[in-house]
Amino acid sequence: MTKGSGVFAEWIGGLADPDPGVRKTAALRLYLAGGTLCSRALNDWLSDPEFHALALPKAAGANSDSGMRKVAYTVGIAVEPDDFERILAANGSPKLSDVPPDQDALEFELTFDGSRHFDILTTREPGGSGAIARYLQKFGAGIQQIEVNVTDVDRASEILRARFSLAPIYPASRSGADGTRVNFFLVPSRNGGKVLIELVEAAEKQKGETKHA
């Protein structure tokens, strides 16, 4: 997980710039940084044929900026509420995701160049005890998680538990944004820290499409 200072803060701020070119450049840098954070774990997981079969691929023709195998992933960026509103407005005010009311998050999706996907997240209760609020208190704005789309979150989680000795954050999958099912794994990243990876299974009505939660 990244701290919200220095270059990361600059790139995140770039997502709210009125110049589309600045936003695009900031998005590319953040997407590459997110890919670097998760590549160690994700490449290991994708070496398992069954997990690989469950992971949704990138759209045909999408480039693979991070050097990882071509798998669909989303970079989740946590920001303070004021910055959330600025990024939302600068990018045409996309609709907010439908987050379960018991979860500490407001979020919306952004996509750049058709293949670089982001969730922009903030807390419902600044200074509270929810997951996003605690992240912002500890780290400030930054890459809070990487989301990987799978066709069966329960089976994918069981593979990681049984074959990689990884315990999920939750004992069973839970409801996520827009009717998805999700679970989370905190794993080592290439920078020597930890990265939170969210496995995301699309809602039933969206099965057959790539869902970026």
| CA–CA distance, 174 with 192 (Å, rounded to integer) | 29
Terminal-to-terminal C-alpha distance of the chain: 19
Q: Which residue range is the domain that position 49 belongs to?
A: 6-206
Report if residue 107 sits inside a domain. Answer: yes
Q: Do 73 and 35 touch, CB atoms closer than 8 A?
A: yes
Report if residue 1 sits inside a domain. Answer: no
Report if residue 197 sits inside a domain. Answer: yes
pLDDT of residue 7: 81
pLDDT of residue 66: 47
Answer whether residue 4 shows pLDDT above 60: no
Report if residue 32 sits inside a domain. Answer: yes
Report if residue 69 sits inside a domain. Answer: yes
Residue the block writes with tokens 């998005």: 27
pLDDT confidence bin for 72, thresholds 50/70/90: confident
Report if residue 213 sits inside a domain. Answer: no
Does the predicted model carry a pTM greater than 0.85?
Answer: yes
What average pLDDT does range 36-48 have in this prediction? 93
Answer whether residue 45 shows pLDDT above 80: yes
Report if residue 193 sits inside a domain. Answer: yes
And the tokens for 193? 């820290």
Overall domain count for the chain: 1
The 10s digit of each residue's pLDDT in 155-190 is 999 999 999 999 999 999 999 999 999 999 999 987
CATH of the domain at 146: 3.10.180.10
